[in-house]
Amino acid sequence: MSHFMSYKGYLMTRSINKIRKRCDNMKNDEKLLLKQKSAQKALSYVKNGMVLGIGSGSTVREFIRLLAASSSLDLQSIICIPSSFDTESLLVKANLRLGRLNQFSKIDLTIDGADRVDSKLNLIKGGGGALLREKIVAAASKEVIIIVDESKLVKELAGSYPIPVEVLPLAKVFVENALQKLGGKPSLRLAANKLGATITDNGNMLLDTEFTKIPDIAKLEEEINNIPGVFENGLFSNRLVTRIIIATTTKGIIVKEK
């Protein structure tokens, strides 16, 4: 295990703030290299004949590129279930075999990224707005591998990144009030090149909700989903995660298993 070490050990030897500072100063090509390393390691878990869930985001994009270039796998035997329109387009462009979730009772393995990861393998996802389909695909999978670079590591999810909540547009104000009652501070995610809200692949809105305290992650995940008008939220408690692959600048690849 020369360049493999425990995740906990890594968190103990390096302060998260130092890691964050280093990552903030990192150039884009250095970040890309870490994403590629994490994606490369994930590829070693893919086997011929698998039904493979494919997450969304820039790290997953690297995984798709590496999968499509693989010479050791029989790509025609692997069926890819996308978790977003963006991922579907990338899979089509890469000539990979597409499938639909409704065709299969189980997905063998899902590979996805994350916005934040804590030391117990709880996640915040949904920075790319694909959280609803991502969570369905993850929940339908026998195994879920999360691929990240070290900039995603945090000691605590609370206060580290807003939790995206996917909401039926007509229930926006009702859900905002309910999120405030749970201690959250929601703000509507705006579109980049259009007036008004970001609309998800499913025709809904996103409320990016800051929580400064999360005493029980699984409980908050459930409480948010219990609000009528909410489809899903970006808290992925560790019950959904099998393994996390973290690419680091100083310690190589860290694989953390549950």
Which of 88, 134, 176, 223 is labelled catalytic? 134
Which residue is nearest to ligand 5RP, using beta carbons? 57
Q: Which 29-88 positions form the footprint of ligand 5RP (CB under 6 A)?
A: 55-59
Out of 42, 114, 132, 224, the only residue in the binding site for ligand 5RP (CB under 6 A) is 114
Residue placing its CB nearer to ligand 5RP in the complex, 31 or 214? 31
Among this protein's residues, is 156 annotated catalytic? Answer: no
Residue placing its CB nearer to ligand 5RP in the complex, 164 or 229? 164
- Least Å distance, CB 39 to ligand 5RP, is 9
- Least Å distance, CB 27 to ligand 5RP, is 16
Residue placing its CB nearer to ligand 5RP in the complex, 174 or 249? 249
- Least Å distance, CB 43 to ligand 5RP, is 16
- Least Å distance, CB 131 to ligand 5RP, is 5
**Amino acid letter, residue 30:** E
Residue placing its CB nearer to ligand 5RP in the complex, 59 or 141? 59
- Taking the C-alpha atoms of residue 200 and residue 183, their distance in angstroms, rounded to an integer, is 25
Q: Which 122-181 positions form the footprint of ligand 5RP (CB under 6 A)?
A: 125-131, 134
User: Which residues contribute to the site for ligand 5RP (CB under 6 A)?
Assistant: 55-59, 112-115, 125-131, 134
**Residues designated as active site:** 134
